[in-house]
Amino acid sequence: MTTEAGTTVPTPRADHRPAPWVRTRLRATPLAALLMAALAFVTVFLAAAFPRLSDRSTDSALREFTRRIGVNATSLEAVAQAAPTEAAADLRATRDRLVGEIGPNLRLSQDGQVHGIRVKQDRGMWNKGYARLSEDSPPVLGLLYLNGLTEHAALTAGSWPAAGAGPVQIAVSAESAATIGIKLGDVVDGGNLGTGPITATVVGLYRVDDPQDPLWENLGCPVRACLDGTPSKLHWRTTGFVAGDALPQLLSWGGGGQDFWRLPVDTGALRADQLDRTRDTVASYLAGRGAGTLARVTNRADLHVVSQLPDVLQRARARQQAVAPLSAIGPVGVAGVATVVLCLAAALSADRRTGEIRLLRARGGSRGGVLLRLLGEGAVTVLPAAALATALALVLLPTPRWGNAVLAALAATLLALLAFPARAALLRSRPRAAGGRRRLVGELAVLAVTAAAVAEVRRRGVAASGADLDPLLVLAPLLLALSGGLVLARVQPLLVGRFAALAGRGRGLIGFLGLARAARDNSGRRRPSVLPLLALLIAVSTTGFGATVLDTVDHARTRAARLATGGDAAVTVPIYATLPEAFTKAAGELPGVDAATGLWVEPTALFIGGDGDTTKAVLVVAEPTAYAEIARSLGAGAFDPAKLAGTPGGPDTPVPALFSRDLAKRLATGPARVRTPNGGQLRTTVAGTIARTPALPDPGQPFVVVPAGPAAERLPELKRTNKWIATGDIDPGQLRGLVAEHGLTAATGMAKLIGDVAQAAGKSSDGLPPGYAVHSSREAAAALADDPLQRAAGSMFWYAGLAGGGFALLAVLLTLLRAAPDRTALLARLRTMGLRPRQGLALIVAETLPQTLAAAVGGGLVALAAVALIGSAFDLSALVGAKVAETLEPVVTPVLLPTAGLALVVCLGVLLETAISGRRQIATELRAGEQA
């Protein structure tokens, strides 16, 4: 085609189509598209992973908590009156109906599932030759029918019981028979009833396959003979089993019986998000519509279900609710940092493509059309990466629920997809001055919302037990970090500008240029970007807050363990025993002991006030100086030992005493006395009142502390020691060895018998007899910390800290990339004027590090402020493992360490990026035009 002027214009081909916009743009900038996809992948993966991690940890903690409690506490036990005419088949049929009704609503476990008939009353075995602990305390036999006994026990002699005429046939454990003296073939004399003598024939001896099998819980003494009764009147007790077709004879032995069906709940199937529904389901079977349904389907009107499971689930629920706010703060902080990074990446892309977008608008492109094309670019890069990240999080972190993870991933995907188009929509065809007034109004609004949130959290105080997660409590630290970042963004340019002015007075140029550029943005205005500062500050403050929580929990746990122990180590013996003086002297000389003393603790003393009324109280007889040092070290009832300095005197001379506060009001009525169980009395004078004392772990007990010397002069019976406590770095193994060395483990008589039985049952305490114990605060703290719920909360803090630190580093790197063109041009011009390469790198560092250091310092201060302002609203008891009164208080050390670590990582990242890309960018700028 030729025009009138003679110019030839190509004729468009009929099949020609414009190149697709998205494909053209992605081919033009493949690295930028790849980096955006990688950023979207990481962000969406973390968004989906944190809810999954939280769900997995809470489920795991719930299952471990219920597993440790045991089968008996996590079972439903149905009971009904036993009928003489029923058979074993009737019990099995009832069991099947119960399982069929309960199973669809509540998953049951086969382990520990059992049913049978137990007698209402055990009977004494009056046979001569059977072991007796006292003349009038014969061994006791309880009979039981247990379905499936032969599957869990093996005969060692005789045969399994069967039905027949005469005495009921029974089988007892071989261990019980050896302890009591039962022989195979014995006819056990159970005494007389109105209808005649009651007897049973021992036809078999058995041995259980696994004594720790939950099947044997709450079934009497089927494994070995047990000690039963009061301490002053103990007797042996064992359980015998009968055949399923001998139920009438079984009922005659115990004056009737009770059918029972124990149905353990499968704790491995419990879910934290279904605790309320599970508790309601169990409660329905205990007293509700479910209970009526069970009675109807089993045709047993008297059937009822008992269980401790509702209380167990309620405790688990309270633990989760107490830990939830502390566990959620870290992920919320990561979400805030990730949002800032995505907005920063969008700003970087908008800066890079501002000219292109304005050109499109100038050539007639509509704003909607341009934004749709930008949205299409983002969809191609973001959506596949987001879908892959979500799928990977769901696969790598399996858990039954996926809703929260998918919603979080969807929110992160939308943010990654819309951040750049939204930023591009704010661009105008012509540059326009920034709206400083709008920024000020927005910042004031954020500050007002933060102040209101903090005030409301402080007004509420600690959340009530059983309350749901308080979003305001979780968002308050993030709002404080956001407000701190906005304030710091206003202050930083002024401070850095002042430092730049000071640096300008010197001879060096690098410091002045770097600080001057740090105080300005790329256009030269005193308004550097707020986003990088916010990302760094949120990451630092969130990590610092979490580190403070974990540090406070560790200290509170240690203090709780020391208070429960009475020091760092303690040795106790029963009230009838005495610690020898040689032991207390040798124990006080162990390595690591700072202070130690022996005590006499009388738990059954009586406090007699001036009005004559008596109150049960614990009498503590202690050496004042050492005891005061231990009390001061523990922070438990510190006192001046001089106040307990008594004077010699006779029985009527009063001794100075420290009283618990609950006894203080009784002291106003007149002189008080303390009476021992043997009838001795001590007249006392008031030396002071204290809230608690090291000798008593339970602060709720009334107590009286008197000096050992004067008290023993008046009552010689108090010149004994039954407890030793000490503070210091004491090895519990050495202390136990010292206990054995002094013969305290060699119990005799009844104590030895009780100890042997406890050891056989796996309930002994380090080989010590019952009542003897060696305690260590180190071991007590480890036991408190052995909780998966606490470990999960701590892990969530550190995961969030690492993720927040990574995003903060990325924010700094993006800031470097955003300023790279202007900085490179400046460095290239300076190189032409004689700037050396090392000076150029130093200039980049001087420009970047002020913001990093300011964010680190500001984040640490914000973390301390957040702890001071809202720390009292958190209940740390669930994380500690014991009820504590400690609250979060500002502490520099736990904030300083993660803050310095994060600042160091960011600084190293800046140096590495500068060393790798700085030289190349400068060289590229200097060679511009060589190939033209």
Q: Return the half-sphere exposure (C-beta side, CA atoms, 13 A cut-off) of residue 74.
A: 30
pLDDT at res. 931: 45
pLDDT at res. 797: 82
The answer on pLDDT for 241 being more than 90 is yes
Integer Cα distance of 360 and 344 in angstroms: 23
pLDDT at res. 755: 58
**Higher per-residue confidence, 220 vs 665:** 220
Residue pair 138/235 in contact by the 8 Å Cβ criterion: yes
SS (H, E, C) 352-409: HCHHHHHHHHHCCCCHHHHHHHHHHHHHHHHHHHHHHHHHHHHHHCCCCCCHHHHHHH
If you search the block for the tokens 């511009």, which residue do you land on? 928
Q: What secondary structure letter does DSSP report for 4?
A: T
Task: Identify the CA nearest to 675 among candidates 704, 653, 699.
Answer: 704
pLDDT at res. 41: 92
The first and second tokens of residue 921, run together, are 């960018």
Residue pair 420/343 in contact by the 8 Å Cβ criterion: no
For residue 623, count CB atoms less than 10 angstroms from its CB and return exposed for 0-12, middle for 13-18, buried for 19 or more.
Answer: middle
pLDDT at res. 129: 86
Q: What secondary structure letter does DSSP report for 927?
A: T
**CA trace torsion 708, 628, 876, 791 (10° rounding):** -80
Task: Identify the CA nearest to 265 among candidates 305, 296, 233.
Answer: 305
pLDDT at res. 409: 92
| pTM of full prediction above 0.75 | yes
pLDDT at res. 552: 86
Q: Give mean pLDDT, residues 537-565.
A: 86
pLDDT at res. 932: 39
SS3 140: strand
The first and second tokens of residue 556, run together, are 């509170």
Residues 6 or more apart in contact with residue 538 via CB below 8 angstroms: 333, 336, 337, 340, 478, 481, 482, 485, 804, 808, 859
For residue range 667-676, list pLDDT tens digits in order: 766 778 888 8
At residue 404, what is the residue type? N
Integer Cα distance of 848 and 515 in angstroms: 9
Integer Cα distance of 573 and 117 in angstroms: 41
Integer Cα distance of 882 and 542 in angstroms: 26
At residue 118, what is the residue type? R
**Higher per-residue confidence, 770 vs 587:** 587
pLDDT at res. 743: 65
Percent over 70 (pLDDT), the chain: 85
For residue range 894-929, list pLDDT tens digits in order: 888 877 887 787 777 767 766 666 555 555 555 554
For residue range 305-316, list pLDDT tens digits in order: 999 999 998 888
**Higher per-residue confidence, 745 vs 613:** 613
Of 111-125, 186-200, 458-472, minimum mean pLDDT range: 458-472
The answer on pLDDT for 657 being more than 80 is yes
The answer on pLDDT for 623 being more than 50 is yes
Q: Give mean pLDDT, residues 376-384.
A: 84
Give 255's pLDDT tier (boundaries 50, 70, 90).
confident
pLDDT at res. 412: 92
pLDDT at res. 524: 43
Give 547's pLDDT tier (boundaries 50, 70, 90).
confident
Residue pair 638/632 in contact by the 8 Å Cβ criterion: yes
Give 525's pLDDT tier (boundaries 50, 70, 90).
very low
The answer on pLDDT for 206 being more than 90 is yes
The answer on pLDDT for 748 being more than 60 is no
pLDDT at res. 522: 45
For residue range 769-782, list pLDDT tens digits in order: 667 788 888 888 88
In Å, how far are 282, 322, 378, 799, 879 from 785, measured between CA atoms? 30, 16, 47, 19, 8
The answer on pLDDT for 207 being more than 90 is yes
